[in-house]
Amino acid sequence: MKKNGFRIAIWYVALIAVVIVVISLLWGGSGTKKDLKYSDVIAYFKDERVSEYTVDYDDGVVEMTVQPENDTDKAQKISYKLADIDSFLEDIKPYAENIKTYDRVPARVIPWWVSFLPYLIITIVIVVIWWFMMNQAAGGKGSKINNFGKARVKNGDKSKVFFRDVAGADEEKAELEEIVEFLKDPAKFTRLGAKIPHGVLLMGPPGTGKTLLAKAVAGEAGVPFYYISGSDFVEMYVGVGASRVRDLFELARRNPASIVFIDEIDAVGRQRGTGLGGGHDEREQTLNQLLVEMDGFGSTDGIIVIAATNRPDVLDPALLRPGRFDRQITVNTPDIRGREAILKVHARNKPLEEGVDLSVIAKGTSGFTGADLANLLNEAALLAARKNKTLIGMDEIEDAFTKVVAGPQKKSMRIKESEKLKTAYHEAGHAVLSHVLPLMDPVHQISIIPSGSALGYTLNLPEEDKYSVYRNELKQKISMLLGGRVAEQLIFDDFSGGASNDIQRATQIARKMVTQLGMSDLGPIMFGSGHSDTEVFLGRDFSHERNYSEAVAAQIDEQIEKIITEAYNEAKRLLSENIDKLHFIAKYLVKNEIMDGEQFKRAMEEDGVTIEALEEMVAERRRRSEDENAKRAIQIAENERLREEERRRNGERDKDKEEKDSNDDDRHIDF
């Protein structure tokens, strides 16, 4: 980029220089006094002030060396354009006899084409500069303006990916194997009259491996893989997107079988007519061309279009009909077995301690995508390297998990002891209720170290994947969320603003129970559109009105208040019954700031447990990790010593061989 800018600057400088030269040639008159008159020139000769002069017959110019009037001044060279050279010579003849130095340059005969040559060169230079500037404006070196309509395709043949590289998506891979078989042996399907799906739409949350699955299909089939993003079609110029769609499919048709992968297709595949005014914009033209190419007048034999999106709800219905994207595969977040398989893939090149159990990590990472799990292990590896460890332990994985979920810990942040104590009771309230409420997920970690925007956190992790929610579970969840505020009220008879997020989440759950899930006294009725208030899709949700009256709205508010109040009273009752455990957990947090799940479980289930006993659990785990890392360091040093010794022996062996070969050559020399 800097190189192109430098070239453009050079061309601009050259253009300015050419303009200056042209002006000098055409309008030049160097050394000529503009206010000099012919009579003044004759006067110089008459006064005998001219010491030498030269008459150029070609240009019609006289150049004179004029002596000054005062002896202190220097002589001056003056040029004058003559109207008639012969008349000038006659006029100065009486005065020029005493001038010894003079010259007369005869006129030169110049061909017409020579005089025309400077103008031709100037024209060529201006044309070249104009072409170069237009070329740069069109996209840099080697680009043309017409290349705006060319598809910006990336070829994925260089990095092969196979199904064995994709973990946690067994059902999705089974659906795509049919596509692979068709690309390998199309006759197997065509002789039965079957038609392979023209398009496959991969839907799912970000990071679930949609792009990786598409690459695996291409790798398994051994066909060209063309990758393009949906945003690459959109430009400010009219018709460019449609032109790029045509170019993309023309490129794919050059091969007997190929895969076209369009990532984030919702960038161009949104429902038509959904803008404010429903105008026909450039994006809709691009979508129309895509619809025609997939199932229209052109042949798409051998071309499989695979697209990915995390917003299938906004796609145009014409894009999803049979004949276009006839197969739609949902790529969900992996289950516990899938997460374990993904962790094994990403842990291949990472040395782990013996105490690291990937099944336990998979169990505690419910809701994590493949990208999240890869990032988790990578963060753990970075933390282990920062500690100069040779193995990645559970402590690093736990810290990485906390960093990913709650944000980086701000251990340097200074907090007053009184505020630290209130935060400890707040988090202890959440934790105690999580333990005593039977439907809540177990506590994974409690911390009063500021992380992200929170002064503390309580992490609850499910022991197994959940796919449904129930009324009693949601009511207990609201009680747990309000536990921090209740603990502050019981101990300090005061409230802090730290419970604002808890109150917001609790209210959202209660509102959803009433308006969408039918879990209130109002019965199984949905109130409202059912779409999220934070994700309004213009053209679909903007015009929707509230489908219930003001009287019903008042009843909804009453039901939400009832659910919140009942959950609050339940939390207050349970914490009052477990006030001793609340004090103990808060006391431990004030001293150590962090309590893990094993420590918390022991503190809640064992009577008479001490803070020292809980601290010894952490110390013992740390000692085992240090011993294992020390053994690993010794093993690494020993392996390095053996490799160095092997390299030394190989060097000596090569040296002996060279000496032997040299001696053999000497013995075979003939004199």
Active site residues: 427
Please name the residue that has the structure tokens 């997920």.
Answer: 441
Owner of token pair 């690291």: 356
- Asked if 143 and 135 touch (Cβ cutoff 8 Å), the reply is yes
CB-based contacts of 497, cutoff 8 Å, min separation 6: none
**Beta sheet of 457-460, edge-to-edge order:** 457-460, 443-447, 594-596
CB atoms < 10 A from the CB of 216, how many?
23
Nearest to 289 by CA among 328, 327, 232, 248: 248
Please state, in angstroms and rounded to a whole number, the distance separating the CA atoms of residues 603 and 462: 20
Contact 333, 207 (CB under 8 A): no
Is the CB of residue 305 less than 8 Å from the CB of residue 335?
Answer: no
Chain-centre distance for alpha carbon 518 = 41
Q: Which stretches of 186-281 are DSSP H helices?
A: 187-190, 210-221, 240-253
Q: Is residue 220 a contact partner of residue 162, using CB atoms and an 8 Å limit?
A: yes
Pairwise CA distance, residues 156 & 150, whole Å: 18
Spatial distance between the Cα atoms of 240 and 445, rounded to a whole number of angstroms:
54
Please list the residues that pair with 456 across neighbouring strands: none
For residue 527, give the nearest of 515, 519, 536 by alpha carbon.
515
What one-character DSSP code corresponds to residue 639?
A: H
Q: How many residues does the chain have?
A: 671
Residue 545: CB atoms within 10 Å: 6
Give the number of other CB atoms < 10 A from CB of residue 269.
28
Q: In what order do the strands lie in the sheet with 50-56?
A: 76-81, 61-66, 50-56, 101-105
Taking residue 129's Cβ as centre, other Cβ atoms within 10 Å add up to 15
